[in-house]
Structure 1
Amino acid sequence: MNAYQIILGQVEDRRAAALMHEGRLHDLLIDPRGDTPAIGAVFRAVCDRPVKGQGGMFLKLGDGQTGWHRNAKGLIPGQELLVQVTGHAEAGKALPVTDRVLFKSRYCIITPEAPGLNVARSLKDEDERDRLLEIAHDALPEDRGTTGVILRSAANGAAAEDIEADLSETWLVATQVLADPGHGPEHLLDGPDAHTLAWRDWPEADVSEDWDTVLDQLEALRSPEVRAGAATFYIEPTRALIAVDVNTPEGGPAGGLKANLALARDLPRQLRLRGLGGQIVLDLAPMPKKDRRGFEGALRTAFRDDPIETSLIGWTPLGHFELTRRRERRPLETLL
């Protein structure tokens, strides 16, 4: 029996999707307000002005929008290039973009300027890898130039006709965008909305449109307070960082360690659901220094399967633990 369920719905007039695991909210996607480009949107950009000392370049994206390319080595003002939105930007700031454009679908990723036909490393079965490669050879043109293809792990065991259709459609979109003959800054391809992302990136599961079943858990995310057994922790965004405070009524070293381990297990899910990233500081419950390694191991294990890049930085002189997380999502408080 599949423990996952996907629920599709709307928040106001915007698409939303919730991934439930054994009745608990596991992941959440909500489209932003207005015409803000989604992550994955592709633009023909024009280099505007470099920023000395940072190695970056501001880009014109069209429609009054500005992009920020953090690695501008070799780029000059006026040069045109294809870029893809990689994250969200705070009001008044430039959209983070990259010139390593990828066209991603459920079963494949089209990789311009990275030729070759490959299968995800996580797929170990050699017979299945050979099957997928044969399907791709049949579905794609023989001459692919400098454009490559990666077959994702989701293709494992999928029907050949479904993989062929996905490959053909994604290849067509990629070639059309790459061959666009226009000039000047222009929005060429929309990023995926919440429903498309749910289909693309979440595991196969029963789909429901009973959004009311999500509302109570969604409402709970408005509060900074999270209860995990006897422990309580508070997740509070500030302008500079995300502060996480851990409390427990259980006294002694054992109670502190227990509360901190409860935080470690649930922190990736809470940050994911709340759309939080950047610098994160954990003010943990008191525990002996000898237990720090065990806490770090639990935290590392918890983040291992999280889809958003997170780096564990380490301990501060005051005994706080720091980490950084890529800002791939908009904060839930702004979406609601």
Structure 2
Amino acid sequence: MSSEILVNIGPQETRVALVQAGAAQEVHVQRASRHGLTGNIYKGSVQRVLPGMQAAFVEVGLERTAFLHVADMLPPPVNGESLPAVTQLLHESQQVLVQVIKDPIGSKGARLTTLLSIPSRYLVLLPHEPHVGVSARLEDEAERARLKGILEELQQRLAPQFGVIARTAADGVEPAALEADLAFLLRLWQAVSTQARGAKPGTLVHGDLPLAMRTLRDLMGTDVERIRIDNAEEYHNVKQFAQSFVPQAAGRIELYEGSAPIFDLYGVEDDIDRALQRKVELKSGGHLVIDQTEAMTTIDVNTGAYTGHRNLEETVLKTNLEAAQAIARQLRLRNLGGIIILDFIDMAEADHRGQVLRALERALADDPARTQIYPFSPLGLVEMTRKRTRESLGHILCEPCPTCAGGGTLKTIETVCHEITREVQRTARQFEAKGFLVLAAPAVVQKLMDEQSADLAMLETTLNRPIRLQAEAAYTRETFDVVPL
């Protein structure tokens, strides 16, 4: 499937969209005030060791201390071997060279590893794991064997103490290009290790590439027809980078000089707006409802206005098959990760459930993030996981609503009126006041004066003290004050 990469450069923000078949599939955002941290290497200092969690908190100069688990310090154990105690590996105030493998998300700090990896166009260098591997996304066995043979020879000759992994982009690449790539990585690691030796704890030792160049490195495949950039300076920078590191892509980089904003092409701007909403409309008339929490994401499938032409089972199957395609795209577009629960419409036939699962697997096949899908549960739910390394699009572009504090709902006006009544009674017991002044939002005051006026008069009689109401335009619905007079 042919695709394009659109790069939009703003004064303090860079946005990149991967477009396939005329629709945005991925959107990446980097702001000057908030860079992604994944891939960055820091000189850290161990602040606290947690034996019960087999982990430690490490200070690397970020807003929150980062998290380092013992499993991210050693290669996977073999033959059922257990991991050593974290106290055997770390102690407080110890200095460690660490790399961010997950950006801070919500209230959680960044996740770290001491198993460093430095990527280039075709290869990944592993300074502390001397082995040779090939990306699992390369499925052709003959090509896997060819690449492994080339890398084993290069490793033994140039980097016997390092590990090397061939990336997906290495498919079909000549040995000379792979050797040049490895030589570049070795020079880069030499510079990183030299800087790390003299760095103080809490220092960034090596940062990943800027977003536009990182996209060129990570997303540029043989199916990408062109990269369009709407800023002349960035265009020249990316072009120069490509000529040095991705020469076969240099001819596909273009300066976009159209009159319309670049993200208006293919409706990318509209796709971003829709990706921030809970409800996703399906062409059939059905819809998805996507709810993201810190623990997991749930996606509910509904038939909506679609009723089909034959029977209910046909309607359900058609909607679920369309939903599987839409879910795969939304997960990638919104960059949703972690645990994901899919609530498809109930299907009576096992064959239909199998069709929906297979459709979901096919739709996720091109997703660069690793996914794991499980069969339908007894409750009719599909559980899946998607590897999460950076914050979702919603977390980058949005913040919790100051009115509802991120809850998504507000108390009704009637509920607030009852709370005010109880607060007046509570204040009357605490203070010897001649009366009470209630400050509340205009809509709440109006309700108290109209529908709740009889109850308010009864309360004044019970307390034998007047209650005065005052509307405050600056108050939100749930905000009020009861002032003793």
TM bin (shorter chain) = 0.7 to 0.9
321 and 159 in structure 1: CA distance in 2 versus 1, 3 angstrom threshold: closer
Distance, in Å, in 2 between the alignment partners of 1:70 and 1:135 is 30
Q: Answer yes or no: is the 8 Å Cα contact 2:151–2:164 preserved in 1.
A: no
Choose which of 301, 307, 324 in structure 2 pairs with 1:250: 307
Distance, in Å, in 1 between the alignment partners of 2:19 and 2:66 is 35
Alignment match, 1:207 = 227
**Larger Rg: 1 or 2?**
2
**SS of structure 2 residue aligned to 1:265:** helix
**SS of structure 1 residue aligned to 2:66:** strand
275 and 10 in structure 1: CA distance in 2 versus 1, 3 angstrom threshold: farther
Alignment match, 1:16 = 15
Q: Answer yes or no: is the 8 Å Cα contact 1:11–1:30 preserved in 2.
A: no
Choose which of 204, 207, 211 in structure 2 pairs with 1:190: 207
Unaligned runs of 5+ residues in structure 1 are none
* 1:21 shift after superposition: 0.9
Alignment match, 2:37 = 38
Query: Percent identity over the alignment?
Result: 27
**SS of structure 2 residue aligned to 1:5:** strand
Q: What TM-score do you get using the length of structure 2 for normalisation? A: 0.61
Unaligned runs of 5+ residues in structure 2 are 72-85, 230-261, 398-485
**SS of structure 2 residue aligned to 1:330:** coil
Could you report, residue by residue, the CA deviation over 1:107-150 in whole angstroms, capped at 9, with x for unpaired residues? 1111112225555562544699379938984xx89452421222
104 and 289 in structure 1: CA distance in 2 versus 1, 3 angstrom threshold: same
Distance, in Å, in 2 between the alignment partners of 1:119 and 1:310 is 18
- The number of equivalent residue pairs is 333
Q: Aligned pair 1:102/2:117, yes or no?
A: yes
Q: Which AA in structure 2 matches 1:23? A: G
- Looking at secondary structure, tell me which structure has more helix per residue: 2
Alignment match, 1:332 = 393
The within-5 A match list for 1:110-259 is 110-116=125-131, 119-120=134-135, 122=138, 124-125=141-142, 129=146, 133=150, 137=154, 142-158=157-173, 163-179=178-194, 180-182=196-198, 183-202=200-219, 203-204=221-222, 205=224, 206-209=226-229, 210-213=262-265, 214-230=268-284, 231-248=286-303, 249-250=306-307, 252-259=312-319
* 1:68 shift after superposition: 0.4
**SS of structure 2 residue aligned to 1:93:** coil
Distance, in Å, in 2 between the alignment partners of 1:335 and 1:20 is 20
Alignment match, 1:296 = 357
240 and 12 in structure 1: CA distance in 2 versus 1, 3 angstrom threshold: farther
Alignment match, 2:342 = 282
Distance, in Å, in 1 between the alignment partners of 2:13 and 2:32 is 7
Q: Aligned pair 1:266/2:303, yes or no?
A: no
Q: Which moved more, 1:64-73 or 1:54-63?
A: 64-73
Could you report, residue by residue, the CA deviation over 1:230-257 in whole angstroms, capped at 9, with x for unpaired residues? 1321222234432211111226122112
Q: Which moved more, 1:159-168 or 1:79-88?
A: 159-168
Alignment match, 1:54 = 53
Alignment match, 1:69 = 68
Q: Answer yes or no: is the 8 Å Cα contact 1:135–1:164 preserved in 2.
A: no
82 and 313 in structure 1: CA distance in 2 versus 1, 3 angstrom threshold: farther
Q: Which AA in structure 2 matches 1:250? A: T
Q: Answer yes or no: is the 8 Å Cα contact 2:44–2:59 preserved in 1.
A: yes
Alignment match, 2:74 = none
Q: What is the root-mean-square deviation of aligned Cα atoms in Å? A: 3.0
Distance, in Å, in 2 between the alignment partners of 1:187 and 1:53 is 29
111 and 295 in structure 1: CA distance in 2 versus 1, 3 angstrom threshold: same
